[in-house]
């Protein structure tokens, strides 16, 4: 066949040459995509099939069942912890009137006696008696020193001063503010 005369056939042959190269490129792309999809599918399948999650979930359920046997003791622990906080708070904040009384008695010189006292809302009012005003003065001064230290109480007020002539006693009423 003389392809040189038939211009239409030459054109067709030229066209066929460029379209076949495009087709080849497309074939490569298609094969590449096929390969990628196959590989990705296989990899994903293996990842999901070999996932440790179901085994871990079974292990977690087993551990929870084992721990459920200790629930009573866990509750006791929680109660002890919770109550310990409240106990510490109460013991730390409640006033110790017996210790304040003991402190006052330790500061009272011989011959000075506490005859009455009243504690209310951290205010202590008490009456001391003695045959010696000097000893009462000594006692009051020691209380003032204690109040300056601000360890047990802060203020000292002398609210009443009287004398019992029959018994020969000096009676002094003092008010302290406990800390």
Partner 1 sequence: MKGNNFRLLYFRYKESSYYSLLVVVGIILVCALLVVAIIIPQLQSWFPIREEITATQARIKVLDDNITFMNSIDRSALASQFTVATDALPVEKDFGSVLNAISDASVKSNISLEDFTFQVGKVGSAAATPQDIGVTENGLPVIEIKLSIMGSIDNTQLFLQQVREKLPLSQVKEIDQNDQQATISLQYFQKPLPALTLHDDEPIMPVSDDKKKLIEKISAWEISPTPGPTTSSSSASLSVPLFPQ
Q: Which residues bind partner 1 (CB under 8 A)?
A: 16, 19-20, 23, 26-27, 29-30, 33-34, 36-37, 40-41, 44, 47-48, 51-53, 56-57, 59-60, 63-64, 66-68, 70-71, 73-84, 86-91, 93-99, 101-102, 105, 114-121
Using CA atoms in the order 126, 131, 137, 141, what is the torsion angle rounded to 10 degrees?
Answer: -50
Does the CA dihedral 31-32-37-43 come out positive or negative?
positive
CB 129 within 8 A of CB 113: yes
Which of 32/148 has CB closer to partner 1? 32
Which of 56/158 has CB closer to partner 1? 56
Q: How far is CA 60 from its chain centroid?
A: 28
| Shortest separation between residue 151's beta carbon and partner 1, angstroms | 19
Q: How many CA atoms does the CB half-sphere of 140 hold within 13 Å?
A: 21
| Shortest separation between residue 51's beta carbon and partner 1, angstroms | 6
Which of 71/165 has CB closer to partner 1? 71
Q: How far is CA 141 from its chain centroid?
A: 46
Using CA atoms in the order 132, 137, 140, 146, what is the torsion angle rounded to 10 degrees?
Answer: -120
Which of 52/168 has CB closer to partner 1? 52
| Shortest separation between residue 123's beta carbon and partner 1, angstroms | 10
Which of 22/165 has CB closer to partner 1? 22
Give 172: exposed, middle or buried? Use CB within 10 Å, 0-12, 13-18, 19+.
buried
């Amino acid at each position: 066949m003389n392809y040189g005369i038939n211009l239409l056939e030459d054109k067709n042959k030229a066209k066929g040459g460029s379209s076949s190269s495009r087709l080849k490129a497309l074939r490569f792309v298609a094969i590449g995509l096929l390969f990628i999809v196959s590989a990705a599918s296989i990899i994903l399948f293996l990842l999901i099939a070999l996932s440790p999650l179901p085994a871990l979930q079974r292990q977690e359920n087993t551990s929870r069942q084992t721990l459920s046997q200790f629930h009573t003791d866990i509750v006791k622990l929680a109660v002890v912890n919770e109550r310990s906080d409240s106990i510490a708070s109460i013991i730390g904040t409640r006033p110790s009137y017996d210790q304040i009384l003991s402190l006052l008695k330790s500061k009272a010189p011989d011959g000075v006696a506490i005859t009455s006292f009243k504690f209310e809302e951290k205010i202590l009012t008490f009456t001391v008696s003695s045959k010696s005003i000097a000893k009462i003065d000594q006692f009051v001064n020691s209380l003032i020193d204690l109040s300056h230290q601000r360890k047990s109480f802060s203020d000292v007020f002398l609210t009443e001063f009287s004398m019992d002539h029959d018994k020969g006693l000096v009676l002094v009423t003092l008010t302290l503010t406990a800390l």
